[in-house]
Amino acid sequence: VPKMFYSTVQRCPDKVLFYYKDEQWTFQQVEEYSNRVAHYFLAEGFSKGDTVAVFMENRPEFVCTWLGLAKMGAIPALINYNLRAESLHHSILVAGCKAVVFSSSLSGAVSDIFTLLLNGARQTYPTYHTGSGGNVVSVPESKNLDELSREQSVTPVPRKVQDSINFKDKLMFIYTSGTTGLPKAAVIKHARYILASRGLTSIIGVRPSDVLYCPLPLYHSVGGMISLSGCMNAGISMVVRDKFSASSYFSDCIRYKVTVGQYIGELCRYLLATPPSPHDSTHQIRLMFGNGLRKEIWTQFTQRFNIPNISEFYGSTEGNSNIINFDNTVGAVGFVPVLFSSILPLGLIKVDEEGIPIRDPDTGLCIRCPPGEVGEFVGIIQQNHPVREFSGYSDKESTSKKVLRDVWSQGDVCFRSGDILVADKLGYLYFKDRKGDTFRWKGENVSTAEVEAVISRVTGEGSCERLQLSSDPFYFSDLSDVVVYGVAVPGCEGRAGMAAIVDSDKINLGSLATSLTNKLPAYARPHFLRLAPELDMTGTYKLKKRDLQQDGFNPEKIKDKLYFLDSKSIKYIPLDSDLHFKISSGQMRL
């Protein structure tokens, strides 16, 4: 990837790569900044294969930092800047990071976990801050990367270092939420990143003459890999925003003369919720691409905002079976020719309600879904193949859970997407739901296991003393019985979080709301709360979720106590029929 980028720099050194607020960063400026970062970390003693956490908001320096690390062979771990406490510590730990580069404005989050980063006889943990804002003094012995790298050379790193980095080496870690409960570090190799760059131009159809608008996080694969890699390879200019703003989306596009826009489904809904504006149709956008634009708002979105072309795609950060809808078929996420579906290395298989594959009793193989029947999307794994390889995660346990054997034939191996899709008779595929212990909200995958663990601990805080006073060995267990799941909210993309907890007079709703707000990112906090006298279990002692999901949050149907998280007061307030109507009708925005 560094060599790929250097080649682009030679072709168009003075072309703008990043538009950011009032700043313009040319390809040459990004090359020189990243070279200084590379030289500094080489001088610090870092070498090929060392992992360094990059914990920064959206801005050009974020890309320059991870690119500089990659140039000297280190592996940057791109960490979600919304993470705090346990999730943040876990993300740094699971990738084996030997140091952290963080924005000064995020110093409080790093300070909160700094003692956890110290282990054994270790007296310090290398940290480097960049940018202004925040109390960096709170992070012991943190070094100012801006000042220190400024003294380094802008020339490329030695040829020997460059040539030691191979096409199949790890380039970076991009995190994804999964069923293990905490973020998983997905391995992105140089080969995959370069392949993604070709996808932006050859498949999605973005041209070197375009200006691409990216309001999405650069630590995610959609913005930080699909869009960014294509811009780095083809010499395309990108507009970067620190945070998405619905009211500024199209005015930004006019300001920067944007011709290609990027979206996720929730973003499209927010845009439709804005008041009509002259900016809606006076921009120059010829194409928008992304994932999650639902059928229900597709036509309304393209007509209101005068978008002639939509490239809706389906895929995952670590997945090996990505598909695309390139002909504007409303609602479809991709297309698989019906005539060749039985011989293609991907498709839908039948699974039961628990997500367990249903197999043919005679052959023992999985059963392919016919048109109209929902199933899990899977794809053949072929190692060292540029498209079909599955590089997995930083830990073997998480990797093994995504692998399924003996699918289409004896001995084959498939990647499990964890997503439920359905195909029509023509071969167009439509997204239906995400199975397992995750749901999607605000464009993020929410791990129910992670949220359950936090709630269980919060409701159990202070219970150790009570436990010692009780002779009942199960006295503590009712406090930890909690189920988290996603519920559909009319007019909203994805599913909002809801938690069902065993009712107890020991549960303090006030402290629960405060604790969850402090311990969880905004998208992971349960909007709805259900206090039940008991929670049903399966025969293997797993708490049931399906019936609770189907119940939703309607007080007319549910006899248990229901509450709604008021984000302004940070309190769980009673959810009655009047409040339910306001939420369902869109009068109250989540």
- Round to whole Å and give the CA distance between 335 and 324: 7
222 phi and psi angles, rounded to 5 deg: -65, -50
Q: How much is the pLDDT for 544?
A: 66
Cβ proximity of 368 and 378 under 8 Å: no
Q: How much is the pLDDT for 539?
A: 37
Q: How much is the pLDDT for 416?
A: 93
Give 205-249 as a 3 state SS string: CCCCCCEEEECCCCCCHHHHHHHHHHHHHHCCEEEECCCCCCCCH
Q: How much is the pLDDT for 355?
A: 83
Tokens of 468: 């010692």
In DSSP notation, 432-487 reads: EEE-SSEEEETTEEEEHHHHHHHHHHHHHTTHHHHHHH---TTTTHHHH-EEEEEE
Q: Which DSSP state fits 534? A: -
Q: How much is the pLDDT for 179?
A: 36
Q: Under 8 Å CB-to-CB from 18, ≥6 apart: which residues? A: 24, 25, 30, 60, 63, 237, 238, 239, 240
- Round to whole Å and give the CA distance between 434 and 431: 9
Q: How much is the pLDDT for 205?
A: 94
Tokens of 187: 């391995």
Q: How much is the pLDDT for 548?
A: 87
Residue 296 CB coordination number (10 Å) = 13
Give 353-395 as a 3 state SS string: CCCCECECCCCCCECECCCCCCEEEEEECCCCCCCCCCCCECC
Give the CA radius of gyration of the chain: 24
Q: How much is the pLDDT for 476?
A: 28
Residues of the chain with confidence (pLDDT) below 50: 121, 178-180, 462-480, 538-542
Residue 469 burial class via C-beta count within 10 angstroms: exposed 0-12, middle 13-18, buried 19 and up: exposed
Long-range (24+ apart) CB contacts under 8 A made by 462-471 are 463/506, 466/506
* Whole-structure pTM value: 0.79
